[in-house]
Amino acid sequence: MISTLGAFVTKEIRHILRDRQTLTILLLMPLVQVVLFGYALRSDVRDVRLAIVDPSPDYATLELRNRFQAARRFKIVATERSISRIEPLFRKSKIDLVVSLDPDFAAHIEAGEPARVFIAVDASDPNTGSTMQAYARAVIAEYEQDLGAKGASAVRIAPEVRMRFNPTLESVNLFIPGLIALVLTLVSALMTAISLSREKERGTLEILLVSPLRPWQIIVGKVLPYLALAFANALTALLAAWLIFDVPFRGSVTLLLVECIIYSMVSLAIGVLVATLTATQRVAMLVALLATMLPSTLLSGMVFPLASMPRILQVLSNVVPAKWFIVVARGIMLKGVGLEHLWKETLVLTGMTMAFMIIAVRSFKARVA
């Protein structure tokens, strides 16, 4: 039995290796996706239109203003004494960012009190919003440092940031887990569905059925090579994220990889299920796409925050495996938490794997009709 399974897996591996086109796509895809998404999402922030509000200009505020002037990224389009003049500019989208300096700025610094800077950012594009405010704070922090270096004690410039027009902040870091989920889904669900239904279309499935092979053996034989491929893809995607985009890896990489495997298995099971329920390759592909990619992109919290969705969609998202995986991945990568916090999500994913697998094997008929 083991050798039969082995022969099956060998055959599947041959199919995969010989389908050069698909293989190239599968191996390159995570790379391409990560890079594309990463760069596309992170739009180049240049020429940030800056408005400065300086009610009482002094040497400190002027110095700060000069620095902003000198910074290539910023373009000062307005300088006012009162913030009330700025508001309409914001609404008309004539400025991206406002730096509003406290009155008596220098006086506060000399007195050793915090000199406040109020920063308001147009964050309707969440990425650029966060980036712009980061730039602004960088300029300010540098000035703060320089002041401290000169010997003035306890200089503190306290920026207060308000992200306008967008309550939540999503940045490239937060996209990567979703991307990995997407890549895994694609390889696992889609390719398994296509492979199995291709066997059906070719007619070879009939011969396999009229043999001692049991349905579960056929399914496992189909699934194992794609599991390996999915794992390789996950590694590639993570490496790309780490090397190219400096996405943090604050938690255990091993745990992350294990979770990736579990998630792949759910997707594989779904792929098998789709193939057993559809008649042709083309339909299998479409259904697999609809059933996996769409929910994974829209309902998992990857692109659109779940918290801002209507209640019913939030409930629905619990059925989407990607949602749980993204929580896990974000937790491990960005927050550095371990299994003790993620056991619930892991359990859900494992449960889903088993459930889908059982349904898939059951619905894989040992007969044709």
Query: From the list 202, 335, 344, 362, which residue makes contact with other proteins (rule: CB under 8 A)?
Result: 202
Query: From the list 149, 210, 243, 312, which residue makes contact with other proteins (rule: CB under 8 A)?
Result: 210
Does 243 interact with other proteins (rule: CB under 8 A)?
A: no
Query: From the list 47, 110, 146, 206, which residue makes contact with other proteins (rule: CB under 8 A)?
Result: 206
- Least distance between other proteins and beta carbon 209 (Å): 6
Does 146 interact with other proteins (rule: CB under 8 A)?
A: no
**Which of 308, 305, 294 is CA-nearest to residue 327?**
305
Encode 144-168: b = buried (16+ Cβ within 10 Å), e = exposed. Answer: beebeeeeeeebebeeebebbeeee
**Parallel, antiparallel or unpaired: strands 115-122 and 157-164:** parallel
| Rg for the chain, CA atoms, rounded | 27
Phi, psi (deg, nearest 5) at residue 80: -130, 170
- Least distance between other proteins and beta carbon 203 (Å): 3
> Given the rule CB under 8 A, which of 103-111, 139-147, 200-208, 277-285 is the region that contacts other proteins?
200-208
Phi, psi (deg, nearest 5) at residue 74: -100, 150
> Given the rule CB under 8 A, which of 10-18, 118-126, 167-175, 287-295 is the region that contacts other proteins?
10-18
Query: From the list 70, 307, 312, 368, which residue makes contact with other proteins (rule: CB under 8 A)?
Result: 368
Does 138 interact with other proteins (rule: CB under 8 A)?
A: no
> What is the residue type of 36?
L
Does 207 interact with other proteins (rule: CB under 8 A)?
A: yes
Query: From the list 4, 252, 314, 350, which residue makes contact with other proteins (rule: CB under 8 A)?
Result: 4
Give the SS3 label for residue 330: helix
Does 362 interact with other proteins (rule: CB under 8 A)?
A: no
For residues 360 and 272, the answer to whether their CB atoms sit within 8 Å is yes
Angle, CA of 319, 325 and 329, to the nearest 5° = 160
Query: From the list 43, 145, 211, 318, which residue makes contact with other proteins (rule: CB under 8 A)?
Result: 211
For residues 137 and 67, the answer to whether their CB atoms sit within 8 Å is no
Q: How far apart are the first and last CA of the chain?
A: 26
Does 203 interact with other proteins (rule: CB under 8 A)?
A: yes
> What is the residue type of 232?
A
Query: From the list 204, 280, 308, 318, which residue makes contact with other proteins (rule: CB under 8 A)?
Result: 204
Does 2 interact with other proteins (rule: CB under 8 A)?
A: no
* Cα(95)–Cα(78) distance, integer angstroms: 9
Residues 12-31 within binding reach of other proteins (CB under 8 A)? 14-15, 18-19
Does 363 interact with other proteins (rule: CB under 8 A)?
A: no
Q: Of 184 and 275, which has the nearer Cβ to other proteins?
A: 275
At 123, list the tokens.
């964050």
**Which of 224, 259, 241 is CA-nearest to residue 331?**
259
Q: Of 100 and 192, which has the nearer Cβ to other proteins?
A: 192
- Least distance between other proteins and beta carbon 187 (Å): 19
Around Cβ 13, how many Cβ atoms within 10 Å?
14
Q: Which residues contact other proteins (rule: CB under 8 A)?
A: 1, 3-4, 6-8, 10-11, 14-15, 18-19, 202-204, 206-213, 366-369
